[in-house]
Amino acid sequence: MQQPHFPTTPFKVILHFLKPYKLHLLGLFLISLLWAIDVSLRPYLIKKMLDILAITSLEENLFYALGPLVIFYLSLGFFMNFIYRFNDYLTLKFLPVFNKNIVIRMLEYTQLHSHTYFQNHFGGSIVTRISEMGNAAQALIDVIIDSFIPHTVALFVACVTLASVYPYLAGVLLLWTGLFLLVSYHLSRKSYILSQQLSETHITLIGRMIDGIVNMLTVRLFARHNYELRYIESSANNKVEKNQELRWSNLKRNAIMDSMSNILIAILLGYLIYARQKDLVTIGDFALVLMLSLSIIDTIWNSSRRFVNFIEDLGRFSQALTLIVRPHEIADVPEARRLQITQGTIQFDNVSFYYKNITPLFQNFSLIIPGRQKVGVVGYSGSGKTTFVNLIVRLYEVSSGQIRIDNQNITSVTQDSLHEAINFIPQEPSLFHRSVFENIRYGNPQATYEEVVEAAVKAHANDFIQQLPLGYETLVGEKGVKLSGGQRQRIAIARSILKNSSILLLDEATSALDSITEHYIQESLNLLMQDKTVIVIAHRLSTLLKMDRILVFKEGQIIEDGPHEALIRQNGLYNQLWAMQANGFLPQKEYLSA
């Protein structure tokens, strides 16, 4: 997958996604211009009609005198109705797709984050942030298109119109507008900070709720329903507090803005009454100045209110952007090539690795696994077995040294080609909340129905699948919760049989199976292992008897290396584990020490 790149500031990201819609934006701008002209033209037409009324006697034909203006006024209404519907058409063709593009591209970017990233963040929180980015961006564009641009143009046209009658009054309104916007901006800065904090508390609340729902079985078995509610309610209370702070900030801001508007209206009305009494303005002028002034005030006030929404949406967008668009910890190099498998030889060359703030697990670790060799891996928990295979699939980046496959540094090849070449069956396979068929076919999206069934038969999964309510079309539930552990494992094995990659990694792949099923599965795995490089992590040592070689891990080092019989003869740790294992399972270290 090609590495997507995005700017890291909200407005640059939005502009990035707006580039394909230049014509739509141009059309919306022209509509805004027409709306702004209409807002000032209508009061001017009313002024002309009032002036005609003031000088026309009752004996004269008013329809004849006012006819052209009335017709023009009504025609303008029909024309603007068409323009507004065209505006709606442009937005419906543009904004939903704009929203979708942001969501899909952000999801694409998020998919390329490291394994550690997804370990450190709630899945529900990530999805919520991505969804919020799309909605917030659409809301921001809505405000700009429906408020800021038309209101700015309307303000300019209204001031020009007003200046043609009373330039000094237009100057007063412009000064008031500047003061109003300055005060509004100053008061809105706190709203921006509070909206970011509110967004953060909302994401935390959603994450905790999803965490509780996903683990509902644990909640039920421990009778912790009330505990969960209190735990989640603490986040909900925090969200309420931030929400109230934001609303209180907006309340104070609106009170100040309302007061400024009412004071200006009082001054304008007082001046117009005085001017009319002194015969300085006509009735039409009185109406024009009052309507334009009220229009300007209403425009500025509405823009100011939308600005608060704009700030809140910008805060949500910025907060989500901070989480999503951050540098990828593990990324393909610019000239990354596809991995070419010839033999499947895996080589660790002076590899060192450590988790953050933890003592190194591997130091100057070197190992060669020849192509098509079958290798077993044993050791106590924490000895480095799972990390060993995770480094091969590059779920983590080595701190130093190199891992090569067929003499190709895995950091110089694309991650997609690396993962396509490796079949990894973990101890706890994760299934999608989709049908059994879709989960198995995930190993090869081009596979036919017959090939999916064949893979299920080889994995000894076909019999139980046929007994499910809808057979292969049965939904398995979130993470496969509707299936038993052994059934999930067999679905995962069928999926891997369908993938059929050159390198096979098994991390306790049969641990959830009963002895009889494991016997049948082992036969399928033996077929799957043919002509492949295989690494098998196992606690049940009996599953490793046919391995070409067994590696015994201890504290990130290989302390024994050889086939089963040779390791038994060495009379070392492996021999001790083999002698003391119960029912074929590796005993715990604490038991050996007792």
356 within 8 A of 370, measured Cβ to Cβ:
no
**10-324 maps to which CATH number?**
1.20.1560.10
| Neighbour-count burial of 553, counting CB atoms closer than 10 A to its CB (0-12 exposed, 13-18 middle, 19+ buried) | buried
Quote the tokens at residue 400: 């130093």
- For residue 589, CA distances in Å to 551, 573, 576, 580 come to 17, 11, 11, 11
- Block means of pLDDT (10 residues each) for the chain, 594 residues, are 69 88 87 81 80 71 78 88 89 88 89 83 80 86 80 77 75 81 79 79 82 78 83 89 87 84 82 80 77 76 74 80 85 90 95 80 93 92 89 92 96 93 86 92 93 91 92 89 85 89 86 69 77 89 87 92 91 83 51 38
Closest listed residue to residue 27, CA positions, set 86, 113, 77, 73: 86
Which residues does 335 contact at the CB level (< 8 Å), separation at least 6?
none
592 within 8 A of 576, measured Cβ to Cβ:
yes
Which residues does 269 contact at the CB level (< 8 Å), separation at least 6?
290
318 within 8 A of 133, measured Cβ to Cβ:
no
404 within 8 A of 370, measured Cβ to Cβ:
no
Quote the tokens at residue 101: 């593009």
Angstrom distance (rounded) from CA 187 to CA 181: 10
Q: Is 199 helix (H, G, I), strand (E, B) or coil?
A: helix
Q: What is the pLDDT of residue 357?
A: 60
- For residue 298, CA distances in Å to 19, 39, 447 come to 32, 11, 63
The DSSP-derived string for 111-137 is: HTS-HHHHHHS-HHHHHHHHHHHHHHH
Q: What is the pLDDT of residue 466?
A: 93
Angstrom distance (rounded) from CA 461 to CA 454: 10
Write out the residue limits of the CATH 3.40.50.300 domain(s) in the chain: 346-429+496-593
The DSSP-derived string for 373-404 is: -EEEEEE-TTSSHHHHHHHHTTSS--SEEEEE
Write out the residue limits of the CATH 1.20.1560.10 domain(s) in the chain: 10-324
- For residue 177, CA distances in Å to 23, 205, 269, 270, 281 come to 31, 40, 17, 19, 24
What is the CA angle 123-127-128, rounded to 5?
115
Residue with tokens 């022209």: 30
Residue with tokens 């492996």: 574
Buried b (16+ CB within 10 A) or exposed e, 179-213: ebeeebeebbebbbebbbbbbbbbbbbbbbbbbbe
- For residue 578, CA distances in Å to 384, 488, 575 come to 20, 29, 5
494 within 8 A of 461, measured Cβ to Cβ:
yes
- For residue 87, CA distances in Å to 17, 34, 82, 152 come to 20, 11, 9, 17
Closest listed residue to residue 428, CA positions, set 474, 480, 383: 480
The phi, psi pair for 506, rounded to 5°, reads -120, 120
**346-429+496-593 maps to which CATH number?**
3.40.50.300
